[in-house]
Amino acid sequence: MAERKDFHMMMNRRSLGQLAAAAALAAALPARAADEAPDALIKRLSNDVLQAIRGDKSLQNGDITKIIALVDRTIMPHVNFRRMTAAAVGPGWRQATPEQQQRLQEEFKTLLVRTYAGALTQVNAQTSIAVKPLRAQPTDTDVPVRTEIQGRGDPIQLDYRLEKTADGWKIYNLNVLGVWLVETYRNQFTQEINSKGVAGLIDSLAARNKANAGNGGAK
């Protein structure tokens, strides 16, 4: 019994150092993620996505399953999708049950990815993303990041709105060519909720997604 106790004490002392080192390392990683500036984050994400598309022919051909996987893997961890959905749904969100809220998020995400996946097929070797300098105070917790997709033809404006959270900066609104996503869909969703309620909205979204899937997605 005493031997086991000694053994445990020795283990504790030796592994304490290792534990401390591991803890320090683990603490450093999230701290670095939280410290990454919002414009640096957007630049990294944009380049990651561009590289992934350039390296994979099936993505360029519009393989929806792969595009969804790419979005889930690369982009979604940095998006506060719950906030985006809640803002788009509006006052009806608070009346929705947790299951309905979950469904709304899923259907909304499917709608967005299926619809705009077609845009990713336009990426070619000349496509590049220019991130404009961040115009915000260091203490701001809600910032806009402006980027421009350059390549063939006129540059396309692509702006983000990010909020600072414990896990780092998260995207909560998106703007393409001057059109803010959440605001646009808020009008769409409000119309549906006014006529059919939250359940009706979920059904409409599901029906739209089914129809899009039937058409082989947006191409």
Contact positions vs other proteins (CB under 8 A):
80, 82-83, 86-87, 94, 111, 114-116, 118-119, 135, 142, 144, 146, 154, 159, 161, 172-173, 175, 177-180, 182-184, 187-189, 191-192, 194, 204-205, 208, 212, 215, 217-219
Closer to other proteins at the Cβ: 138 or 178? 178
Distance CA 130, CA 128 (A): 7
Closer to other proteins at the Cβ: 14 or 219? 219
Closer to other proteins at the Cβ: 39 or 192? 192
Structure tokens at 139: 């203490």
Closer to other proteins at the Cβ: 53 or 87? 87
Burial 151-183 (b: 16+ CB within 10 A, else e): eeeeebebbbbbbeeeebbbbbbbbeeeeebbe
Closer to other proteins at the Cβ: 55 or 153? 153
Do 80 and 169 touch, CB atoms closer than 8 A? Answer: no
CA atoms within 13 A on the CB side of 177: 5
How would you class 145 by CB atoms within 10 Å of its CB: exposed for 0-12, middle for 13-18, buried for 19 or more? buried
* CA distances (Å), origin 110, targets 58, 67, 201: 19, 11, 14
Closer to other proteins at the Cβ: 15 or 215? 215
Q: How far is the CB of 133 from other proteins (least distance, A)?
A: 11
Q: How far is the CB of 115 from other proteins (least distance, A)?
A: 4
Structure-token match 């940095």, residue found:
78
Structure tokens at 216: 């082989």
Q: How far is the CB of 77 from other proteins (least distance, A)?
A: 18
